[in-house]
Amino acid sequence: MAPEPCVHCTCPGTIFCQSCCERDSDDVLQPTRWYCSPLCKAIDEPHREECPLVLSDTLFKRAEKAGEVAQALFYAFIQDTWAYDMRNVRIVRDQDGDLVTIEVIAGPGVNAGPGKESTCGRHAGGWLIKFPHTTFKSSDHEAKHAILADQNSIWAFVFMHAAIQALFEDLVDDIEKDIKEVVHFTPDNARHLVEHKGLFGVVRADREDIVYPNFDVKGDLKGIYSITLKDGTRIALDLTGAQYNLPHTPVMHWTAYLNSWVKVIKYRVPFRSHYDKHANNMVNYRCITHLTVVMEQTRYFNMLVTHSKAEIGFELKNLLEMEPEDFHSKFCLLIDQAHEYLLERPKELDEGLLIGCITDTFDLRHPNVVANALRAGMAASLRNSDLLQSLPTNISDMKLFDWENLRKLIQMHSTTVEYQEKKKAKLLLSHRCVYKMPGDWRLVFLLDTLPSSKVPDECVSENPYWK
């Protein structure tokens, strides 16, 4: 069932009153009263007076408001850490205007090799792709949300933990005990709205920017927070339900969520478990990818949500106590600031601040960006020589490394290449050993030793002199 217009202002609905839902023939909850925002829901005084659950459940209403803020922060994060090249997006609706499918034609993405440059605008040193806002009309907000939520429910545990704590700390007795991270299998009637296809119509099941895919051999997985409020009410906080065909609202009573969304629960883990596991993986992760930049963006994002009093003048939990008009203005300020904080690190990279706060020894630019810069530098020093035309377009691929380039360098006229450069090239040719670690653009030349045993064989160049 597609969202209906807001009962207060007729804008497209995004949330609904759970106490007024009806069940269809398949025993699935069907909302009957939609709202475009928490503000309109709060202003709907006639309904507040006639709905006993809404009138009496004050703590639950605050949790609903916290869920809406968390939902908006989630969309902001995914949008500003986007690394998926969408060549084309086709939104399919039925005769009633209900959303049926969103067909996404996949482009090469940020990890593309030579000859597969993205057609989308890039930033953050080449690691991120600008989300294509022009693809979606104002009436396509649910399609946009579905794409942002697509396959990201488990990944949301990693970057949303600080925001969830800041929003719910006064609604629960103990953050560690009362908030769980739950992963479950979706029911048979849950269908993905987003379909990924290749340029020739082949269905793709993967996305290059997905860190933790939401599926295993037994089916589709979905991650949610299970939260027990101070009064004992148990709720489900679902930030990624928009990717499915089932009615979605961020906060639902736990029983209602189980009945509509859960087939089998796979596991429950304590709050922050996924973040801690991911942080441990990043410590030992020696390859530079778009995730390196995203983790630095996460630090900026967490700075905003945990120190919001100093950054924007109020704490996130204060939003839950505000009157509708004040809430609306402060809510908009928060989301605007979230976008700015998330884009701060990418802007620094594009302005030349290449050393990061997590990886302080590496150039954080994409290998293609580095290769293009090096080619531009060589073009200046070699004065557009024939050698330039034979250089590989992407030095991140060891298979493209060609020792003949150095031999040609030695043979060039001394007015083009300095003597010291020729001497260095001869020395390298005499030993002929170079390696490059996966994900790193830098080539390491060895003159009198073999690569470390930690370097995989496929990362080492052809090396006949060491046999």
Phi first, then psi, for residue 338 (nearest 5°) are -60, -45
8 A C-beta contact, residue 109 and residue 85: yes
Nearest to 90 by CA among 159, 147, 45: 147
Strand order of the β-sheet with 86-93 is: 86-93, 99-106, 194-197, 203-204
Q: Per-domain residue ranges for the chain?
A: 1-56, 57-348, 383-466
How far, CA to CA in Å, does 98 sit from each of 1, 92, 142, 166, 269? 7, 9, 10, 36, 36
**Is 0.85 surpassed by the pTM of this model?**
no
CA diameter of the chain = 90
Over its length of 467 residues, how does the chain's per-residue pLDDT go in tens digits? 567 888 878 787 777 776 677 766 665 667 778 887 777 777 776 675 566 544 445 899 999 999 999 999 999 999 999 999 888 899 999 998 889 999 998 887 776 544 456 667 889 988 999 998 888 988 899 999 999 999 999 999 999 999 999 999 999 999 999 999 999 999 999 999 999 887 666 676 667 788 898 988 889 999 999 999 998 999 999 999 999 999 889 999 999 999 999 999 999 999 999 999 998 888 776 667 788 889 999 999 999 999 999 999 999 999 999 998 899 999 999 999 999 999 999 999 998 887 766 655 567 888 777 767 665 654 454 444 443 333 333 344 455 556 676 677 777 776 556 777 777 777 777 666 777 766 565 667 776 667 777 777 777 776 544 44
Place of tokens 């925002």: 37
The per-type count for the chain, helices as H runs and strands as E runs, is 16, 18
Q: What is the pLDDT of residue 27?
A: 57
Beta bridge partners of 219: 216
Place of tokens 């035309």: 389
Q: What is the pLDDT of residue 431?
A: 63
Residues with Cβ within 8 Å of 356's Cβ and at least 6 positions away in sequence, in order, are 292, 293, 296, 345, 362, 364
8 A C-beta contact, residue 132 and residue 120: yes
Q: How far is CA 313 from the centre of its chain?
A: 27
Dihedral (Cα; 280, 285, 286, 290), 10-degree rounding: -120
Q: What is the pLDDT of residue 435?
A: 76
Residues with Cβ within 8 Å of 351's Cβ and at least 6 positions away in sequence, in order, are none
8 A C-beta contact, residue 58 and residue 231: no
8 A C-beta contact, residue 13 and residue 5: yes
Nearest to 168 by CA among 228, 239, 254, 240: 228
Eight-state DSSP code of residue 321 = G
